[in-house]
Amino acid sequence: MNQSPWQPIRPEKPARPVREPLSRERIVDAAMSLLVEQGYEAVSMRKVAQALNTGPASLYAHVANKKELDQLLVDRAAQDLEFPEADPEHWQEQLKDGMRSMLKVMRSYPGVARAAIGQVPLGERALESTEHFLAILKAGKVPDQAAAWAVDLIPLYVTATAFEESVQRAWEWTEDDITRFVGELREFFQGLPAEKFPFTVALAAALTAGGSGDERFEFGIQVIVAGLASMAEK
């Protein structure tokens, strides 16, 4: 029997989409998105793997564990920090600007402060920020040991400020809620036994005075910089 020259055309199988290779960069991208959108507690190796449509085991070829992932998140945020060339004539204001820049970055990445707490920043970008702070401090003739301790104190203060703000945002308090709470707190302080807490009672109004987060932060950096300036070599 002769075979027909006409053969049916079989439909072409759809090509499978080419999956982008997994990399440390993609893992940090996915983790940062989770961090910003859902908060620090949402960032786990399992959830990052789900976001990348893969299994957790595949992540460990690029990131050792959650602790290293936290370091990578902090380092990713640190790339947005801005520092001028250290200037001996303006080192105090440069130090303040550095702290302001750090807080701005942490506010841009809600949750990164939680990742940073308790960490010694060892990523390249984070180390660069430490180097810039040290350069500014030494331009101001701050003694070596004071400068070394300062680059631990400074990020600790900024990170704590950013972390507290993220916790307060999670409460979702309205302005009325805050006003009511402050009023109740003032009454509580004023109602304490004056013989046991004389200064708390006397300063109840000051302890519960208004002031934005930025104003309180500025007070803190002024105290830190003034303290370091008092140690500077003449």
Q: Give the DSSP per-residue string, 117-184.
A: TT----SHHHHHHHHHHHHHHHHTT--HHHHHHHHHHHHHHHHHHHHHHHHHHHHT--HHHHHHHHHH
Lowest mean pLDDT among 19-28, 45-54, 68-77, 89-98: 19-28
Q: How many domains in the chain?
A: 2
Q: What pLDDT is recorded for position 87?
A: 96
Query: Is residue 35 domain-shared with residue 99, that is, in the same domain?
Result: no
9 is a domain residue: no
- Give a yes or no: residue 3 inside a domain: no
Q: pLDDT value at position 7?
A: 53
Query: CB within 8 A of 79, min separation 6: which ones?
Result: 125
Residues 159 and 43 in one domain: no
Same domain, 43 and 90: no
Tell me the angle at which helices 144-171 and 213-231 cross, rounded to the nearest 10 degrees.
170
Judge whether 8 lies within some domain: no
Rounded to whole angstroms, the Cα distance separating 111 from 224 reads 25
pLDDT of residue 209: 87
Would you say 151 and 137 are in contact if contact means Cβ atoms under 8 Å apart?
A: yes
Q: Residue 106 is inside which H or E element, if any? A: helix 91-108
Within a domain: 192: yes
Residue 200 pLDDT: 97
Burial label, 41 (beta-carbon count in 10 A; 0-12, 13-18, 19+): exposed
The CATH number that applies at residue 40 is: 1.10.10.60
Tens-digit pLDDT profile for residues 156-207:
999 999 998 888 777 777 888 888 989 999 999 999 999 999 999 999 999 9
Percentage of residues in the chain having pLDDT higher than 90? 70
Q: Is residue 12 part of a domain?
A: no
CA pair distance 129, 116, nearest whole angstrom = 14
pLDDT(18) > 70: no
**CB 129, CB 167: distance < 8 Å:** no
Q: Are 51 and 33 in contact (CB under 8 A)?
A: yes
* pLDDT at residue 8 in the model: 57
Which CA distances in Å does 36 have to 43, 125, 127, 166, 190? Answer: 10, 20, 23, 11, 40
Question: Is 34 inside any structural domain?
Answer: yes
Q: Which of 31, 63, 95 delimits the end of a domain?
A: 63
Residue 102 belongs to a domain = yes
Same domain, 131 and 225: yes
